[in-house]
């Protein structure tokens, strides 16, 4: 009894004085474009953030490294949308390396990036790459004092601020731990496999 109490006390002490380390098992990265930036969040399962994790951004088409950055203490990161891969019509692959073998990656397609990166793309570019996306009626209804590009920028900013909570909720959803259904399903599988093994054994 005394030994058990001592063990419990030691355990508590250890738990209290250890440095915080995100060493759960699964890490997720979630990123979305906003204006001229790409924002993102990295977390271990159950939502604990990846502090100072390495973020590697690559060209999704050919794997060429584009840039590197680190997450802050909330597990968030941001970087400007790089011009070269997007102009070439390539997406970006964003990989988080959280250390000790934890890694995850996500991709943003060129369309997602092009949709927001208005200032980095000259208007001439959009005519040959995405003619359907450029608003043909815009010049006709131009508000006096505002160019089409300015209107587009205002709309983008307003949309971004509306969509950000949605993106964050999506990110949080992705970081949620396994559900009860997964757990019960796994237990069922184990029992089923054991039953199968017993059946095969009996037939011999």
Residues that bind other proteins (CB under 8 A): 3-4, 7-8, 10-11, 14-16, 18-27, 44-46, 48, 99-105, 177-178, 182-183, 185-187, 189-191, 193-194, 197-198, 201
- Shortest distance in whole angstroms from residue 48 CB to other proteins: 5
- The residue (of 9 and 155) whose beta carbon lies closer to other proteins is 9
- The residue (of 104 and 156) whose beta carbon lies closer to other proteins is 104
- Shortest distance in whole angstroms from residue 57 CB to other proteins: 16
Edge-to-edge, what's the strand order for the sheet holding 54-59?
A: 65-70, 54-59, 92-99, 102-108
- The residue (of 28 and 34) whose beta carbon lies closer to other proteins is 28
Edge-to-edge, what's the strand order for the sheet holding 76-80?
A: 27-34, 37-44, 76-80
3-class secondary structure, 117: coil
- The residue (of 1 and 143) whose beta carbon lies closer to other proteins is 1
3-class secondary structure, 12: helix
- The residue (of 21 and 68) whose beta carbon lies closer to other proteins is 21
Please state, in angstroms and rounded to a whole number, the distance separating the CA atoms of residues 136 and 157. Answer: 21
- The residue (of 24 and 151) whose beta carbon lies closer to other proteins is 24
- Shortest distance in whole angstroms from residue 10 CB to other proteins: 6
- Shortest distance in whole angstroms from residue 107 CB to other proteins: 14
CA-nearest of 169, 170, 159 to 118 is 159
Dihedral of the CA atoms 154, 160, 165, 168 (nearest 10)? Answer: -160
- Shortest distance in whole angstroms from residue 126 CB to other proteins: 35
CA-nearest of 27, 19, 180 to 97 is 27
CA-nearest of 113, 116, 71, 79 to 96 is 71
- Shortest distance in whole angstroms from residue 122 CB to other proteins: 37
Half-sphere exposure of 129 (CA within 13 A, CB side): 15
């Amino acid at each position: 009894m005394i030994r058990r109490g001592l063990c419990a006390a030691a355990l508590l002490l250890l738990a209290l004085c250890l440095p915080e380390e995100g060493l759960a098992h699964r890490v997720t990265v979630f990123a979305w474009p906003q204006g001229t930036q790409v924002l993102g969040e990295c977390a271990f399962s159950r939502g604990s953030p990846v502090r100072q994790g390495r973020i590697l951004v690559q060209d999704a088409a050919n794997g060429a490294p584009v840039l590197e950055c680190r997450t802050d203490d909330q597990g968030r990161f941001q970087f400007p949308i790089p011009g070269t891969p997007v102009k070439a019509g390539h997406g970006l692959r964003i990989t988080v390396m959280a250390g000790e073998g934890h890694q995850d990656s996500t991709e943003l397609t060129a369309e997602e990036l092009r949709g927001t990166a208005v200032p980095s793309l000259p208007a001439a570019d959009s005519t040959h790459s995405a003619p359907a996306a450029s608003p043909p009626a815009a010049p006709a209804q131009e508000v006096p004092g505002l160019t089409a590009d300015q209107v587009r920028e205002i709309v983008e900013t307003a949309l971004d601020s509306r969509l950000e909570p949605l993106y964050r909720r999506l990110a949080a959803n992705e970081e949620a731990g396994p559900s009860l259904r997964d757990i019960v399903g796994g237990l069922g599988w184990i029992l089923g496999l054991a039953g199968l093994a017993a059946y095969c054994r009996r037939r011999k």
